[in-house]
Amino acid sequence: MTWNAAQQLPSIKDEIDEIKRRRILNEAARQFFDNGYEATSLDSIADALGVTKQFIYSRFRGKAELLASICHVGASSAEMTVSFSASIDGDPASKLAQVIQYFVRLQIEHRREAALFFREAKSLPPEEAQAIEACKLRFHRMLCGILNEGKEAGLFDFDDASLAASALGGMASWTFTWFQPEGRWDPDSVARQIASLALKTMGLRDPSPCLPVTPGRGQNAG
């Protein structure tokens, strides 16, 4: 390893600080999810972690910043999917299938943060709420773009792209409300089936040629 490469590695202190931040965020997310944002105090978070409230304040300015950080994780699924959509090739049907599958997997992986993103956004500071709304709008516009491409190519059948994008986005987004890790379907199977439903909703009679094969298919969601 060169000296320059070694300089770019995070220090042990930085790694430990990140672990501490992550522990705080995980506990805050658990309590916000179980008890609600308003009913959760920094004292209860500190008590659960076995630390002082100052330990939390040394890394976050307060409860609102904790919520904002958690909601950004929930919103990042949409942002990452927008970036992913720009990197894939294929016809609009294939793109839509890949985008829906990718997004559903992220929603399932971060389902607690996604739930808080939808449920507690009203408690965010205005500037944070605006940033998240902008992220949601970019995701919506990305879906509209793919749908319009598909309609122009004669692949999709719908009346209004914005309404159709809202319907498909909702179908994919709300998986976090019912997916259960111990259930009948695993995340990849759920993502594939939601993508198939999205394509059928847009008018494809047989969506299977457009669905990428994913590993780990099998039963496992509620």
Q: Among the residues of 86-160, which ranges form H helices? A: 92-109, 111-119, 126-152
Query: Contact at 8 Å (CB) between 188 and 175?
Result: no
Q: How much is the pLDDT for 3?
A: 43
Cα separation of 84 and 14, whole Å?
29
Query: Contact at 8 Å (CB) between 172 and 100?
Result: yes
What amino acid is encoded at 25 in this protein?
Answer: L
153 is written with which tokens? 């190519």
Cα separation of 129 and 5, whole Å?
38
Q: How much is the pLDDT for 132?
A: 87
H helices then E strands: how many in the chain? 10, 0
Rounded to two decimals, the pTM is: 0.81
Cα separation of 153 and 117, whole Å?
35
Max intra-chain CA distance, the chain: 61
Q: Say which range, 106-110, 160-164, 183-187, has the weakest mean pLDDT.
A: 183-187
Mean pLDDT over each residue of the chain, to the nearest integer? 88
Query: Contact at 8 Å (CB) between 202 and 158?
Result: yes
Question: In this predicted model, what pLDDT tens digit does every residue of 120-147 receive, in sequence order?
Answer: 888 888 888 888 889 999 999 999 999 9
pLDDT at 211 over 90: no
Residues above pLDDT 70, as percent of the chain: 91
Confidence of residue 202 (pLDDT cuts 50, 70, 90): very high
Cα separation of 29 and 69, whole Å?
10
- Please count the CA atoms within 13 angstroms of the CA of 176 that sit on its side-chain side: 22
Residues above pLDDT 90, as percent of the chain: 63
12-60 CATH fold: Arc Repressor Mutant, subunit A (1.10.10)
183 is written with which tokens? 């259930």
Question: In this predicted model, what pLDDT tens digit does every residue of 2-50 receive, in sequence order?
Answer: 445 445 666 888 888 889 999 999 999 999 989 999 999 999 999 999 9
In the CATH hierarchy, which top-level class contains the domain 63-217?
mainly alpha
Indicate the domain borders of the chain: 12-60, 63-217
